Amino acid sequence: MSQYTLDLTGKVALVTGGSRGIGKAIALALAEKGAKVALTYSRSADAAEEVKTAIESLGTQAMIIQADAASFEGANETVSAIIAEWGGLDILVNNAGITKDGLILRMTEEHWDQVMETNLKSIFNYCKAVARPMMKGGGGSVINMGSIVGITGNAGQSNYAASKAGLIGFTKSYAKELASRNVRANVIAPGYILTDMTDALDEKVLEGITNATPLGRAGNVEEVAAACVFLASDLSSYITGEVIRVDGGMAI
């Protein structure tokens, strides 16, 4: 039998923005494979509490922490709290993200800054905070949530696309720096996935997106979580610095 498995029993994972949408699905999928899961949220305390209960009902442990992903101190405090409680950290999923869409002529400086801080600075915050503990612990897996838009660009999303393209360059550099210490880092680039984030889009835009997707439908959060579990596990032990599209073929 292969020594490489999806089993995450005994592993400790942190998912940022795990209270809703893709992050919630990832937190539950990692827990299903046996990991202890800590998740952060910014506002949805009740939803985060529900995810914690759901994780515990899968027979593993959960921790919820309110922490703005854009806060450098918040990232350090979160990682320290997890290590104090569970003794280490093996898997980091930088999932928290926002959109503040607008064509460039209308985009405000505030919307540029908010998106860059939440989507890109957060990646630096958490990747830096886990680097030393993961190296000390003999390795780890970091998964940064990009977007297909970071590869193709999208009118009305120059701030968002820049943040998601930026994290690809960051992840490849980080992967090169930490590979010798067995810390892997990869990006998942989802296409159109049904969540609160895409709920905000109008019907016409959604129809256009579906028509542009070779598989002919939106993706669901579990399909993104499946790729994340793969990247978190030993099944991907020889994969680092990679960008995996989960987009129904949209960017072929």
Active site residue 160: yes
Residue 199 CB, shortest distance to ligand NDP, in Å, is 8
Looking at the Cβ atoms of 97 and 137, the one nearer to ligand NDP is: 97
Looking at the Cβ atoms of 109 and 199, the one nearer to ligand NDP is: 199
Q: What is the SS3 string spanning 60-127?
A: CCEEEEECCCCCHHHHHHHHHHHHHHHCCCCEEEECCCCCCCCCCCCCCHHHHHHHHHHHHHHHHHHH
Looking at the Cβ atoms of 138 and 153, the one nearer to ligand NDP is: 153
The single residue of 126, 160, 174, 192 carrying the catalytic annotation is 160
Contact set with ligand NDP (CB under 6 A) = 16-17, 19-23, 40-44, 47, 68-70, 95-98, 118, 145, 147, 190, 192-193, 195-198
Residue 225 CB, shortest distance to ligand NDP, in Å, is 10
Looking at the Cβ atoms of 183 and 221, the one nearer to ligand NDP is: 221
Helices 21-32, 45-57: inter-axial angle, 10-degree rounding: 20
Q: 231 with 214: CB under 8 angstroms?
A: no
Element (H, E) at 149: helix 149-152
> CA 155 to CA 125: how far, in whole Å?
28
Looking at the Cβ atoms of 174 and 192, the one nearer to ligand NDP is: 192
Element (H, E) at 12: strand 12-15
> CA 138 to CA 149: how far, in whole Å?
34
Residue 231 CB, shortest distance to ligand NDP, in Å, is 14
The position carrying tokens 């027979």 is 59
Count of beta carbons in the 10 Å neighbourhood of residue 27: 31
Residue 48 CB, shortest distance to ligand NDP, in Å, is 7
Residue 223 CB, shortest distance to ligand NDP, in Å, is 11
Question: Which residues belong to the active site?
Answer: 160
